[in-house]
């Protein structure tokens, strides 16, 4: 019987290649990071009115939306269109290795984003958190990132054409940010504010903000956490079930 | 014939896309050290058959055994015995030639020392292009790299989907020589093509597939000899002497396929 290569070796090779690919596309990642940092800088008034955790959690959430919708979905759609996944799938390794490698890279991006926002928040607005606050914030950012990665997976699961994926991702990103930010501030009315609070934007933002101040965590935040996990699971499951490895 | 010797056994393959049946009850075998050609017009079912063998799509019925392993019951063992060059092979455009080689060497469990990889690149005359990205290579260079990766792990069966499509005559001839060299080393090759010239030049046996069905399997000369008196083949003949192309057109018809 033909010996099969170790899955760990295959996964580490894939991870290395995906890291190199991400590094060589660092310009687009830097652009994704710039938006939340610029918002943080321009929101000095908001920090004074609503507090550091509000501003930081909003910026991190905006960054997570960008990573999931613009970064992940577009790169998956592009690689699928080029036939890169098909070539990997004929190799003697489990299919999940391909996506796990991609997701691990996104996890690194999420941690980098959160770190940069914390550093920017500290340098620009002198926002500091307790050590426990930093730890829980990273964890909640990862859970929140899973929602938007799931949403990105849903988009590439439902849409085959890479140009359509690109335009849908950009539109969804824009809608999430605009409706999320203004809705949460009450600009779009009280009803919309309530809807936004329990939307994927609102629940992610709230758990990240509450994570920054662990003392304020209450039953409503626990409910928000469960809803966030529910969103991540729903988007991911539907996205994975509907996903096709090639466009034909 | 002892079927345990076959490197590939396809039995009763049926593939549907929705209600459309792309492959109908296809059965054939490939022997060790054989170059087997699957010939057919556009839309005949060649690529669908190959995709099923590669494990990329699940047939509605039928079995596919590669080196004694069922592609659906033991996919990893079967895939370990297969080397593949897809029709539209692409690699990550950001990766260089050497990085792509390192990636697939890792995936296929082949030793990845830089020296060994450069030796492979030197053999396919891509050593000077090691630092170039895949997208910067010419069509011929991309094909050479794709083929080198397909045989990196010394597979028992190499699957080539229209490998000379779009190549200039020199590159095509070189590829044929590489296929013959693979055969000499004991690899089996299954290639799809609609080039009669290619089928006659390299294939030990060919199968003609049309509308999803296998309509003939034999060595090229025997196919010609056994169809010399076929009225449809004679009608397709242009110069009196029956060629493989005449047999192909006689059996599949003159209508242009999309």
**pLDDT tens-digit profile of B35-61?**
999 998 888 999 999 999 999 999 999
pLDDT tens for B195-227 read 888 888 999 999 999 999 999 999 988 888 888
**Does some domain include residue A162?**
yes
Contacts of A216 (CB under 8 A, 6+ apart): A210
Of all residues in chain A, the one with the smallest CA distance to B151 is A91
Residue A117 lies in a domain: yes
- DSSP-assigned states of every residue in A12-70: HHHHHHHHHHHHHTHHHHHHHHHHHHHHHHHTHHHHHHH-HHHHHHHHHHHHHHIIIII
Average confidence score pLDDT of chain B: 89
Q: What percent of chain B has pLDDT over 90?
A: 55
pLDDT over threshold 70, residue B258? no
What integer pLDDT is reported at residue A220 of this predicted model? 93
Cα angle for residues A24, A30, A34 (degrees, 5° grid) = 170
The model's pLDDT over B68-108, given as tens digits with 9 standing for 90+, comes to 999 999 999 999 999 999 877 689 989 999 999 999 999 99
Probe site for chain A from B108, B132, B142 (most A CB atoms < 10 A): B108
Neighbours of B186 (CB within 10 A): 11
Please indicate, yes or no, if residue A248 is contained in any of the structural domains. Answer: no
* Structural domain span for residue B58: 3-81+155-252
Residue B86: the pLDDT is 86
Domain contains A247: no
Is the Cβ of B18 closer than 8 Å to some Cβ of chain A?
no
Percent of chain A surpassing pLDDT 90? 77
Q: According to the model, what pLDDT value does residue A149 have?
A: 96
Q: Which B residues in the span 118-147 are in contact with A, Cβ-Cβ below 8 Å?
A: none
Burial environment of residue B1 by CB neighbours within 10 A (0 to 12, 13 to 18, 19 or more): exposed
Per-residue pLDDT at B2 exceeds 50: no
- Going by C-alpha positions, the residue among A80, A83, A103, A236 that lies closest to residue A162 is A80
Contact criterion met (CB < 8 Å) for A16 and B103: yes
b/e map B110-146, b = 16+ CB within 10 Å: beeeeeebeebbeebebeebbeebbeebeebbbbbbb
- Torsion angle (degrees, nearest 10) of CA A235, A13, B129, B149: -90
Examine residue B37 and state whether it is found in any structural domain, yes or no.
yes
**Cβ distance of B106 and A24 shorter than 8 Å:** no
Q: What average pLDDT does the structure give for chain A? A: 92
pLDDT of residue B5: 81
In a domain, residue B223? The reply is yes
A137 pLDDT band, cuts 50/70/90, is very high
Q: What pLDDT, on the 0 to 100 scale, is given for residue A237?
A: 96
**How many CB pairs below 8 A link A and B?**
97
Nearest to A90 among B67, B69, B84 (CB): B84
Question: pTM here?
Answer: 0.88
Among B67, B94, B102, beta carbon nearest to A25: B94
Residue A230: domain span: 7-242
pLDDT of residue B168: 82
CATH of the domain at B186: 3.40.50.300
* Predicted local confidence at residue B1, as pLDDT: 43
Which pLDDT belongs to residue A221?
Answer: 94
Residues A62-71: pLDDT tens digits? Answer: 999 999 998 9
How does residue A1 score in pLDDT terms, banded at 50, 70 and 90?
low
Is B183 within 8 Å of chain A by CB?
no
B160: left (phi over 0), alpha (psi -120 to 50) or beta: beta
What pLDDT is stored for residue A4 in this prediction?
A: 85
Question: Does B181 fall in a domain?
Answer: yes
Cα–Cα distance for residue pair B144/A68, rounded to 1 Å: 36
Q: How many domains does chain A have?
A: 1
Predicted pLDDT at A248: 67
Domain contains B102: no
Alpha carbon of A23: minimum distance to chain B alpha carbons (Å) = 9
What is chain A's percent helix, strand, coil content, to nearest 5? 85, 0, 15
pLDDT the model gives residue A26:
87
Strand partners, A100: none
Say yes or no to pLDDT of A153 above 50: yes
- Mean pLDDT of the A13-25 span: 94
Q: Is residue B234 part of a domain?
A: yes
Question: With an 8 Å Cβ cutoff, are A84 and B92 in contact?
Answer: yes
Cα nearest neighbour of A97 on chain B: B107
ipTM: 0.88
- Are B155 and B81 within 8 A, CB to CB? yes
* pLDDT band, residue A117 (cuts 50/70/90): very high
Query: A226 to chain B nearest CA, in Å?
Result: 37
Residue B10 has pLDDT above 60, yes or no: yes
Give how many domains chain B has, as a whole number. 1
Contact B77 A17 (CB under 8 A): no
| Nearest by CB: B103 against A17, A24, A245 | A17
**Residues of B with CB below 8 A from A90's CB?**
54-56, 79, 82, 84, 86
Would you mind telling me the total number of residues written for chain B in this entry? 258
Is A89's Cβ below 8 Å from some Cβ in B?
yes
């Amino acid at each position: 019987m033909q010996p099969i290569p170790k899955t760990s070796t295959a996964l580490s090779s894939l991870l290395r290649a995906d890291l190199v690919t991400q590094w060589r596309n660092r310009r687009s990642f830097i652009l994704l990071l710039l938006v939340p940092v610029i918002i943080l800088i321009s929101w000095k008034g908001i920090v004074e009115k609503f507090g550091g955790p509000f501003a930081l959690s909003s910026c991190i959430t905006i960054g997570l939306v960008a990573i999931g919708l613009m970064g992940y979905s577009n790169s998956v759609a592009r690689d699928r269109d080029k036939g890169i996944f098909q070539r990997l799938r004929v190799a003697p390794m489990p299919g999940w290795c391909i996506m796990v490698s991609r997701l691990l890279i996104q996890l690194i991006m999420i941690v980098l984003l959160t770190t940069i926002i914390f550093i920017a928040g500290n340098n620009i607005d002198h926002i500091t958190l307790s050590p426990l606050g930093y730890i829980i914030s990273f964890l909640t950012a990862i859970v929140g990132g899973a929602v938007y990665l799931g949403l990105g997976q849903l988009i590439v699961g439902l849409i085959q054409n890479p140009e359509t994926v690109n335009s849908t991702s950009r539109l969804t990103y824009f809608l999430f940010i605009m409706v999320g930010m203004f809705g949460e501030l009450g600009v779009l009315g009280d009803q919309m504010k309530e809807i936004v609070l329990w939307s994927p934007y609102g629940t992610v933002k709230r758990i990240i903000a509450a994570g920054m101040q662990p003392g304020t965590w209450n039953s409503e935040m626990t409910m928000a956490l469960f809803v966030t996990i529910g969103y991540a699971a729903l988007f991911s499951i539907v996205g994975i079930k509907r996903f096709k490895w090639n466009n034909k | 014939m002892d079927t345990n010797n076959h490197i590939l056994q396809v039995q009763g393959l049926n593939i549907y896309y929705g209600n459309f049946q792309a492959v109908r009850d296809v059965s054939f075998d490939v022997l060790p050290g054989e170059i087997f050609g699957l010939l057919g017009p556009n839309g005949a079912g060649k690529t669908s058959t190959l995709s099923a063998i590669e494990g990329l799509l699940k047939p509605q019925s039928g079995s596919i055994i590669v080196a004694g392993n069922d592609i659906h019951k033991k996919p990893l063992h079967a895939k370990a015995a297969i080397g593949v060059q897809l029709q539209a092979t692409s690699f990550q455009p950001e990766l260089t030639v050497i990085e792509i080689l390192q990636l697939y060497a890792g995936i296929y469990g082949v030793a990845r020392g830089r020296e060994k990889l450069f030796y492979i690149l030197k053999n396919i005359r891509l050593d000077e292009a090691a630092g170039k990205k895949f997208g910067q290579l010419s069509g011929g260079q991309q094909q050479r790299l794709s083929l080198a990766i397909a045989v990196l792990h010394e597979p028992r069966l190499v699957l080539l989907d229209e490998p000379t499509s779009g190549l200039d005559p020199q590159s095509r001839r070189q590829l044929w020589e590489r296929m013959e060299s693979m055969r000499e080393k004991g690899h089996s090759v299954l290639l799809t093509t609609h080039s009669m010239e290619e089928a006659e030049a390299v294939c030990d046996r060919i199968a003609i597939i049309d509308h999803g069905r296998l309509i003939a399997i034999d060595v090229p000369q025997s196919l010609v000899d056994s169809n010399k008196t076929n009225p449809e083949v004679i009608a397709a003949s242009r110069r009196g002497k029956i060629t493989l192309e005449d047999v192909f057109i006689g059996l599949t018809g003159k209508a242009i396929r999309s």
